[in-house]
Structure 1
Amino acid sequence: MPPTNDQPDRRVALALMAHPDDAEITCAGTLIRLAESGWDVHIATTTAGDCGALEGSPEEIAKIRIAEGTRAAESVGLSFHCLGQPDGRVVYDRDSLQQTIDLFRQIAPTLVITMPLSDYHADHEVTGQLGRAASFVYAAPNASAVPLKKGSTVPYLYYCDGHGGVDRMGNPIEPTVCVDITEQLDRKTEMLACHASQREWLKAHNGIDEYLSMMRDYCADRGRQFGTEAAEAFVQHRGHGHPREDLLAERFPLRSLSDH
């Protein structure tokens, strides 16, 4: 009997983010839970975040931020990848999509978490578009010259929460599922703390200080909506060709918003 959709042969998860600290802010608790349950988990970023600094050349900042992303991922047993696209200038074109598809071919994820299609930062939105497109097509034999791994398939696809739980116009995002990360919150915080270069940058450019506590406070806000201490929220992509069963809700049952 073939595996059911909630138990794929390959248990490989990929979080495709825009910048090296995006996973830690949005979905690291869920990634830790996946790794704890036996999944092979990868974080990939489209950029190295080379604009996220007050001083230093793009090459210098990229080196620092890739090292921070690698350190954060490896601290909880995950792998880190970077596509090296220019920060603040991520575009959806044939070359960037092919680069993303090639990465998917190398990893062959059966679960993908990517960025929301409507968010305050255009890099986030374009990354979400790349993640959606690559998810659908990467397993097609002719989509890439990278050899096709056995078990490659159209994956479960989720979009992570937008900044502050709103879209680019400030409208509330209605998640389809939340994952309890109460037990993972401290390790998620430690992962975010690895991105030490970002504190001064975010304070100067975005007016954000103490972004570790801000992340924890937001996870607590989402958690209170579902009767737990801390949670991460997602919207599942259930379009044609993608699995429609809610893998995250089934594997980490809390309460799906459809139950309300």
Structure 2
Amino acid sequence: MTEQPRLDVLAVAPHPDDLEILCGGTLALMVKQGYRVGIVDLTSGEPTPRGSLELRKEEAEAARVALGVQVRINLDLPNRELMDGPPARYRLATVFRRLQPRIVIAAAGRTPAASPDHHQGHLIIEAARFYSQLTKWDDRFENTAPYRVPHLVYAPFPFDAEDRHWHGTFVVDISSTFEQKMASIQAYRSQFDPDRFEKVRHFVSGTCIAHGARCGFAYGERFALPAEIGTTDLVNLVTQNQAIAPPNLTPGKDHLPMG
């Protein structure tokens, strides 16, 4: 693997197109904000009824360009047979050690109506974050130095089988990058022909509109946290990102859920 400068954010998911659907707008936004952002696809996504290895590589690169993300890596773990276990953990932890991201975004959730790879990927990412910091094991990680990833953030699948009670959630305003998000999804033409893409666009748009509306945004992407956020300044925590109520509604009077 070619050495890369350390990243601010590294997003990880089982298949090319997962992250575009879950948090592509946020990835594009962070690039515009000046952060170094990377994507790791655990598998190629192949075989599928519609694609090929060569085509999926081309599509993933086109999606990367659409989002402006600086780094994209495919670990070539087995699609359809992705399983949490030491070999997969070592592979991903080695990437964490090399790229030293400040934040890892993990595609998260259990999707029995879709690929079981999603749940296994969730487990691999969490375990690899822990493995990345372990000492006296460097031979398992291509002799890279231990690195502790400071922050883990979940990008939940909107069709998760479980109604999860996360320790914290937040929504990122992607109004300015929503069309980039859709262009990155549309790059996967082998998976989304015109009719199928319209169904995906309808679903993704509705999800982003629903999440964004709670915070007064045209479009939003929802994230979750594995632990509470601590603060010594409540006012700064609540107001530092200029959280706003939806237009023409007064919190309290209109009984609108906030946050």
Q: Same fold (TM over 0.5)?
A: yes
Bin for the TM-score computed over the shorter chain: 0.7 to 0.9
Distance (Å, rounded) in 2 between the aligned partners of 1:182 and 1:140:
40
What is the number of residues matched between the two proteins? 230
Residue 65 in structure 1 maps to residue 56 in structure 2? yes
- Normalized against structure 2, the TM-score is what? 0.77
- Which residue in the other structure is 1:22 paired with? 18
Residue 116 in structure 1 maps to residue 108 in structure 2? yes
Q: Over aligned residue pairs, what C-alpha RMSD do you find?
A: 3.0
Q: Secondary structure at the match of 2:130?
A: helix
Residue in structure 1 matching 2:142, options 142, 145, 149: 145
- Which residue in the other structure is 1:97 paired with? 89
Q: Deviations over 1:114-166 (max 9, x none)?
A: 111433432111111111111223133435234338xx4323111112134xx
Residue 33 in structure 1 maps to residue 29 in structure 2? yes
Distance (Å, rounded) in 1 between the aligned partners of 2:76 and 2:195:
21
Larger Rg: 2
The answer for unaligned runs of 5 or more in structure 1 is: 1-9
Distance (Å, rounded) in 2 between the aligned partners of 1:48 and 1:34:
25
Residue 215 in structure 1 maps to residue 204 in structure 2? yes
The amino acid across from 2:224 in the alignment is: V
Equivalent positions of 1:85-234 (< 5 A) are: 85-120=77-112, 121-141=115-135, 142-143=137-138, 144-148=141-145, 152-164=147-159, 167-169=160-162, 171=163, 176-200=169-193, 203=196, 210-234=199-223
Distance (Å, rounded) in 1 between the aligned partners of 2:242 and 2:28:
15
The amino acid across from 1:220 in the alignment is: I
Is the Cα–Cα contact under 8 Å of residues 46 and 84 in structure 1 kept in the other structure?
yes
The amino acid across from 2:95 in the alignment is: L
Distance (Å, rounded) in 2 between the aligned partners of 1:16 and 1:244:
25
- Matched residues, percent identical? 23
1:237–1:76: structure 2 CA closer, same or farther, 3 Å change rule?
same
1:126–1:157: structure 2 CA closer, same or farther, 3 Å change rule?
same
